[in-house]
Chain A
Amino acid sequence: MQNKRKERIFLDPIFRNNPVTVQILGICSALAVTVKLQSAVVMALSLTFVVAFSNVIVSLLRKTIPGRIRIIVQLVVVAFLVIVVDQFLKAYFFDISKQLSVFVGLIITNCIVMGRLEAFAMSNSPKRSLIDGLANGLGYGFILIVVAFFRELLGSGTIWNYQVVPQAFYDAGYMNNGLMIMPPMALIAVGIIVWIQRAHQQRKEEGK
């Protein structure tokens, strides 16, 4: 019983209750960094780190935080973790940190982080909050990676900066779809993912 609940805490956010496509949280940054797979993966990892650890910290503090100022306290915890991530990226992955520009900073106001803190960490034990944070981060990362995979493949013909569309295709007249690199296509891609997911879920519910 106990184990099953934990499993649900972990699996729900990845598929059935995905933070991006079902709860519509954290879309802001999800879309802007999905031009290349590499930046999407880095962003997903940074967010997972921030959500997981801020969940643990807030959950540890949950009995001492006064209700009235909890938002400010949460913001400070999150901002501290984001600064750690930002400095780390600047030190070791300077190019990627330049590409992500302001979006690392915007993890602070990412609704997934604040939403999980309010909805889960404030009323659950640190261990469960850690699992919940990891799962939500991964659910977010999953969507990011799917969108980035298609955008990079169709937009630049590469995956993880390796050329995958063979030169022969280009010689035969194939062209990269420049539209996929443009920001609006990210929205349309997410729209289509939402569509597929909902249609799938409906069929499942009807089948029951």
Chain B
Amino acid sequence: MENIANIFVKSVFIDNMIFAYFLGMCSYLAVSKTVKTSFGLGVAVAFMLTITVPINYLIENYLLCKGAMTWISPSFADVDLSFLTFIVFIAVVASMTQLVEMVVEKFSPSLYNSLGIFLPLIAVNCAILGGSLFMAERSYANVGEAAVFGFGSGIGWLLAIVSLAAIREKIKYSKIPKALDGLGIAFIIVGLMGLAFMGFMGIKL
């Protein structure tokens, strides 16, 4: 239990997708103009991370790793498919987005209306693929930990995009040097927020 809480806090604050690894930066900067839309995108990202990370965990550990397929037959002990990792992960991410889009459209039109436009964007959001790749690199002990890691990273991303959007809504009214307006200032704000988030470094539960 302690371990799970630790992974969660770590993935939300310390290893924040945006501030520590810059993942999903493109849509982060492009969509963070108003709080409402950025909240929608944040929820969609968190949702997809929570789904894809555990699925990829299972695929990696039961199909791709060296000796992972021994559960089918002991003679597969030497099979190492890990070079396929990238292509399998991206296929899972792309097909899961498609699937989730269809399911949401069918069962909850209201959710689809608020979330739907963001889902296609997500297939190529680096945060989703990055979550799976980090999961593979850090080798979590079981699928539960991987799921908590995915969920935590998603929440961290949501937190980051909503707070940036709130700041950008206010900063519209300030006088900024013309050349710095828009993109330049957004970069610098994210940099400063990142510095603030570094204060969480080293926290351990």
Contacts and interface: CB of A to CB of B under 8 A. Distances in A.
Interface of A: 24-32, 71-72, 75-76, 79-80, 82-83, 86-87, 101-102, 105-106, 108-111, 114, 182-188, 190-192, 194-195, 198-199, 202
A111 B134 CA distance: 19
Report the contact-size class of chain B (Cβ under 8 Å from the partner).
35 or more
Contact of B180 (A32, A106, A195): A195
B190 interface: yes
Contacts of A185: 191
B20 A183 contact: yes
A25 B194 contact: no
Interface of B: 19-26, 29-30, 83-87, 89-91, 94, 123-126, 128-130, 133-134, 137, 177-180, 183-188, 190-195, 197-198
Q: Which of A28, A80, A106 has the most CB of B within 10 A?
A: A28
Contacts of A31: 22, 25
A191 B188 contact: yes
A202 B179 contact: yes
The 6 residue pairs across chains A and B that have the minimum distance between CB atoms: A184-B194, A191-B187, A187-B191, A188-B191, A199-B179, A102-B133
B87 A187 contact: no
B3 to A, nearest CB: 23
A83 B86 contact: yes
Given A30-B22, A187-B187, A187-B191, 20 more contacts: A27-B22, A28-B25, A28-B126, A28-B130, A29-B22, A29-B126, A76-B87, A79-B90, A87-B83, A105-B85, A105-B133, A109-B124, A111-B124, A183-B20, A183-B21, A184-B198, A187-B188, A188-B187, A198-B184, A202-B178
16 contacts: A28-B22, A28-B26, A29-B22, A32-B22, A83-B83, A83-B84, A87-B83, A105-B86, A108-B90, A184-B192, A184-B193, A184-B198, A187-B190, A188-B188, A188-B192, A191-B187
Nearest to A185: B191
A146 B24 CA distance: 22
